[in-house]
Structure 1
Amino acid sequence: MRAAGRRAEPAVSAPEKSGASGRFWARYAWTEGARPGPSEPPGPFKPLGPSGVPGSEVSGAGASGFGGSGAGTSGAASSGAGDLGTGVLESGVLIEVAEGRVTSLRAGSAPGDAVVLDGLVLPGLANAHSHAFHRALRGATQTGGGTFWTWREIMYRVASALDPDTYLDLARAVYAEMAMAGITCVGEFHYLHHAPGGTPYADPNAMGEALVEAAAQAGVRITLLDTCYLSSGFGAGPDTTQLRFSDGSAEAWAERAESLAGALKARDHARVGAAIHSVRAVPADQLGTVAAWADARRAPIHVHLSEQPAENEGCLAAYGVTPAGLLADHGVLGPRTTAVHATHLTDGDVALLGGTATTVCMCPTTERDLADGIGPAKDLQEAGARLTLGSDSHAVIDLFEEARGMELNERLRTRRRGHWSAAELLRAATGDGHASLGWPDAGRIEVGAVADLVTVSLDSVRTAGPRPGAETAVFAATAADVRDVVAGGRVVVRHGVHVLVPDAPAALRAAIARLEAS
C-alpha cells in the first residue's frame, strides 16, 4: 500500500509473494534436526544421520533431515531453552523447493537445471533488532567522547528529517545491505510514526508501510514491531522530536496498530508485532494494553530492557521495582516476548526472564559502539531464556560478527573461553531469531521449512583453510563472504550482487545524501 503523495517506485517481481519453486545444489550444507519448541519440554537432541548412499532422499512432513529418522545421539542433550545439540555438514546436497518451502533433500551430484550454491550453505539469518534509519549515522558517531544520551541527540536529528519517501529510499538500501549479509528476515523496531510535531500523515501508517515496501523491494521478510512510545522519561511527556513517536495513549496506539495489521494481511512477506520502547517511554498503567494487544493476536512483543543504568535507577525511583520486575508485574514477559539488550540486570531479573521463557536479543556491536556494557548472556541462557541477535544501530551489519561477539564478550566478562558452540551461536542467528519474529518455520534447512539459503564462500582469505562448518561461519567469516542468498525460494543475491538492488552501495549513498539535504 502506498501512502498518499509518495512517488511511484520501479516495478519489481513481487519478491514478497509465496510460491517460489526450484532446485538448488549445495556443495556443502549445514543441516540440523528438530528441537523443542517454546511450549515443549526439552529432551535429548537427535542429530541428523549421515547422508548414506548417494541419492538417498528424505521428504514429507516430519522428516528430520538426511538418513531418515535422525535417531541416535552424540552424547549431547538439551539442558534447557537455547540448547542446540549438533548439526551435520553434508556435501553435495540437492535442495528442492516448491511454494517457497523445502520439499526434499537429496545427496548426489548437481543436475543441470539446479542453481549451484558453491560454498557452505547455511539457513537464512534473522536480524532480530533493527532501527533502519540509524544506518545513516555510520561513520558519523563512532569517534569522540560522549555517552548513549549524547549519541541519541544526533540520532534524533536524523529522525526529525525523515518522511515516507526518504524512509523508503533509505530502508530499501539498508535491507538490501542486510540481504547481502545473509539476512532473510528483519525485525524492525519501528517508532517513527507521524510527521514532525506529531501530526498523523493522511495515512497514519505511511511510515510503517514504507518500511514494509522497502523490505519487499529488497527481497526480505519483515516483522514490523510497531512501537508504543509515549513519554520522554518517568512521569514526563514526549519532547519535541518524540512527538513523532507518540500516539498519545496505548489505546490510540493499539487502534493504529490494528489498522496496520489489517492493511498488511495480503503481503506475504510481512507480519506485524508489538513493541514497548522501554519502561521509561511507556507509563506503567499503559503497559498492559500493549501486552493485551499482542496476546490477543499471538504476536511477538519486543522491548528495550535495562540498556542503561539510568533506566534502572529511574524505574526504581518511580515504581520501586526494576524494569524487568515492572514488565513482569504487568504481564509483558513470556515466550513471545523479546527483551532487547538486557545489559544491566540483577540476579532476580535474570531469574524472571529465564523463568518466563522470555527471549533476549543481544546486539554486541551496538552495545560496544555505545559503551552500553556487557550483558549476562550465558546466565540468561542457563536460567531458561533463548538468545537471538540483532545489528540494532547498524554500526556494522554482520550477524557473524554479532554471533562471535556474544561469545567473545562472555569471555571478557568471565575471563574464560568456550561458552557456546559455533552451532549454538548460529542457532541464535537463525532459527531462534526467526521464531522470535513470528516465523518459527524458518531458520533451518529441513523438509517443510521456509527455503532460506545463504552461501558463505570458502575461498576468501578469511575462510580458506578451515574445514567447512559452523565454526568457519561464526569464527572466521564476515558478511563480505556471503555469495548467494535465497529467500523463500527466490534468489535475492547471486555471486555477491543483489539482484533487485544491483548497486546497493550507490543506493545507500543516494539515500543518505538525500536525507542530509532535506
Structure 2
Amino acid sequence: MRVWVDTLLRGGEVHRRVLLEADETGTVVAEHTGSDRPTDALALGVASAGFANGHSHAFHRVLRGRTHVSGSFWTWRELMYRAAGRLTPDRYRDLATLVFAEMVTAGWTSVGEFHYVHHRPDGTAYPAHAMELALVDAAETAGIRLVLLDTCYLAGGIGQPLGPEQRRFADAGVHAWLDRWHDLQALIAQRSPRVTLGAALHSVRAVPREALSVVNDALPGTVPLHIHLSEQTAENEDSLAHYGLTPTGLLEAEGVLSPRLSVVHATHLSPADIAALGRAGATAVFCPTTEADLGDGIGPARELADAGVVLAVGSDQNAIVDPWLELRGLEAGERLRSRTRGRIDPVELWRIGSDGGHRALGLPEPARVGGPLDLVEVDPRSVRTAGSAAMQMPLSATASDVRRVVVGGAQVAHDPVELGAALDRSITELFEEDV
C-alpha cells in the first residue's frame, strides 16, 4: 500500500511531496520526501496525520438534540442511564457502527472507547463478552482504529452502593473485573490488528480506594489506563470529605499516576494537582464540546501543558463529532478564561489532535515509519478554509472540509446522507422520544 501526499501536515511541520509505503498491517515501513507522484499510489492533496479521539462513549450519541433544554451534568446523567438501560449487544453493534462511521467521516482515524455497559440490566453477564465484541465488530465495519478501554466500575459513589441503573456497569469486585479483562484480552488478540484493548478506572467515585492500586499493579505496564478526573466540583468535595485528598492526590497516594495514565476532563484541579500530574508525565484528555455542553467548566490546559502534561482531545458524549471543533474549543476556552489569544498556538493544536491522542491510546504516532498509515485529507479552499495558512487550519476548518480519510493505507468512505438517515432510524427505533 502506497499513499503520496502533496502537502503533509505532521508533528506541527509541513512536509512536501511525501510518499508513504505500508505493509499488510497498514504500518508505515518507508518514507520518501520530495518524491514524484507514482501512478500506482493513492494521491492526496493537503493531508494531516490522522486524528485520535482520546475519549468516547458511543451510546451517548443518542442524547444529541434531546437533552439541551436545561439542567446540569447530574440531570443529564439520569437521561444517560435511561439510554444505557436499553442497550443490547445487537442494538449496540448497530448504533456504534454508525457512530464510529460518523467519526471516520469527520477525520477521527482512531478512537478510545471508554466502555462500561458490560452486562445485562440486572447485572448478570452476557455470554462471551457480547457487549465488548459488539463494539469491536462495529469498529471493524466502520473502518476506524479502536482502543477498547474496558472500564472498572464498582460503586455508586464514594462509600455508596451501586444504584439499580448502575448494576450493568459493574463486576462482582476488582478481581472479577481483572479476570474478565484478561479473558477479553485473549479474545481481542485474535481479531483485527486495528483493535487493541486498554483499560479504565471509571472515576474515584466508582472505584474504591483499595481497588485503584490493585488495577494499576495487575495490568501489563504497556496497557493505557484512563480515568475520569475532577469533572465536577462535587467529586472533589466528596473525595476530600471521605479521603482527605483530592482525586488527583488519591491517585498519587495509591501509585496510579504515571506516563501511561490519561486523566479525562481534569477540569477542577488545584495547583498541587497540576504539579503532581506534570511530575508523573500523564496525559490529560480534554473534551471541550462536552464540557461546554454540560456546563462543566474550563480546565487548566495551559498550566497542565507547562507542567509537563501531554494534552489530547476527545468527543466524549458525541454531542459534536468533529476533531477540528474540539481543538478550536481547547484554545477558545483558554482565551475565555485568560482573555489572551494564542494560549495554545496552531502548531501545538496539530500535535494535540494527532500525536497527543495517539499517546493517550498507547498507539504509535501516525504517518511515520513504525506508525499506522492514517491520514485525513482536507480541502484548503472551502468557504471556511480559503485563505488560511495550512498550519492555522485547526482554527478555520471543520469536519465538513474533510475530503478523504485513510486508515491503515486504505481509503475509508461513508456517504454522509445515508449515514445521517441510518442514525436517525437507529436512534428513533432504539430510544424513542422519551429520552
TM class by shorter-chain length?
over 0.9
1:514 Cα deviation from its structure 2 partner = 2.7
Partner of 1:371: 295
After superposition, residues 352-363 of structure 1 pair within 5 angstroms as 352-363=276-287
- 1:177 Cα shift? 0.4
- Which one has a bigger Cα radius of gyration? 1
Q: Does 1:112 align with 2:39?
A: yes
In the alignment, the residues of structure 1 paired with residue 180 and residue 112 of structure 2 have an alpha-carbon distance, to the nearest angstrom, of 19
Distance 2:166 2:114 in 1: 15
- The aligned residue for residue 314 of structure 2 is 390
Q: Which residue of 2 aligns with 1:61?
A: none
Is the aligned partner of 1:172 residue 2:97?
yes
Query: What residue in structure 1 maps to residue 6 of structure 2?
Result: 27
1:137 to 56, 63, 73: 63
Rounded to whole Å, the distance in 1 between the matches of 2:108 and 2:300 is 25
Kindly state the Cα deviation for residue 423 of structure 1 after the two structures are TM-superposed: 1.7
Structure 2 counterpart SS, 1:161: coil
**Residue identity opposite 1:278 in structure 2:** S
- What aligned pairs does 1:421-460 form with structure 2 within 5 A after superposition? 421-439=345-363, 441-443=364-366, 445-460=367-382
| 2:178 paired residue number | 254
TM-superposed CA distance for 1:464, in Å, is 1.5
Distance 2:75 2:294 in 1: 10
Aligned-partner Cα distance in 1 for 2:187–2:205: 30
- 8 Å contact from structure 2 (residues 7, 14) kept in 1: no
Taking only the aligned residue pairs, the percentage that are identical comes to 48
C-alpha distance in 2, partners of 1:123/1:212? Answer: 23
For residues 384-423 of structure 1, the aligned pairs below 5 Å read 384-423=308-347
- Give 5+ residue unaligned stretches, structure 1: 1-20, 33-85
- Partner SS, residue 338 of structure 1: strand
Q: Any conservation in 2 of the 1:442–1:452 contact (CA below 8 Å)?
A: no
Aligned pairs (5 A) from 1:314-353: 314-353=238-277
Q: CA deviation at 1:427?
A: 0.9
Flag the structure with higher helix content: 2
- The amino acid that maps onto 2:411 is V
What is the alpha-carbon root mean square deviation over aligned residues? 1.6
- Return the alpha-carbon distance in structure 2 between the equivalents of residues 517 and 137 of structure 1: 11
State the partner residue of 2:392.
471
Report the residue type matching 2:118 in the other structure: H
Alignment: residue pair count: 430
Q: Secondary structure at the match of 2:111?
A: strand
C-alpha distance in 2 between matches for 1:105 and 1:457: 23
The more displaced of 411-420 and 123-132 is: 411-420
Q: Which runs of 5+ in 2 are unaligned?
A: none
2:159 is equivalent to residue 235 of structure 1? yes
Partners of 2:308 and 2:221 in 1: CA distance = 24
Name the SS for the 1:483 alignment partner. strand
Q: In structure 1, the residue corresponding to 2:59 is in which secondary structure?
A: helix
Tell me, yes or no, if the aligned pair for 1:274 and 1:290 is still in contact at 8 Å: no
Within the candidate set 412, 416, 423, 1:508 is matched to 423
Work out whether residues 97 and 104 of structure 1, in 8 Å CA contact, stay in contact via their aligned partners in 2.
no
Name the CA distance, whole Å, in 2 between partners of 1:447 and 1:287: 36
Aligned equivalent of 1:16: none
Secondary structure of the structure 1 residue equivalent to 2:7: strand
C-alpha distance in structure 2 between counterparts of 1:233 and 1:332, whole Å: 19
Given candidates 388, 405, 421, the residue that maps to 1:485 is 405
